[in-house]
Structure 1
Amino acid sequence: MKNFSVHREKIREIVLCVTILLKIFFSIYFLKNFWKMFAFSIICDKIMPVYFLFSPLIIFILN
């Protein structure tokens, strides 16, 4: 059970890092157009819980 918890934490960290990198990339890309950057940020914040919802399934497949 401890091993399962460690994998789940690692996957959450990876997903969080990827999302932050995507936000930074698109913030720079849409720097001239504030509304697109703002909309992307809202979409990312709404999609993030979906990643966490599916992370146990990913862990199950990896094991």
Structure 2
Amino acid sequence: MRVLSLFDGISCGMAALERADIPVEAYDAFEIDKYAVTVSEKNYPQIRHHGNVFDGDFRKFKGYDLLLGGS
């Protein structure tokens, strides 16, 4: 599954998918809080962080399976 998470926080969406045994091929996250990103990077180093959602070019995220907001 390919996941795009907006306002990702500490990546609770990834935690939920992991606990539900749903395989995640790619997880891209937008988050600006530096402390939340630090926690996310520590727990899930495979997540690609993109910073501010308002600066994102969402054309490159076509074909994703799940869109999360505020997880």
Shorter chain as denominator, the TM-score bin is: 0.3 to 0.5
Considering fraction of residues, name the structure with more strand: 2
Which has a greater percent of helix? 1
Larger radius of gyration: 1
Q: TM-score, normalised by structure 2?
A: 0.30
Q: Please give the TM-score of this superposition, normalised by the length of structure 1.
A: 0.33
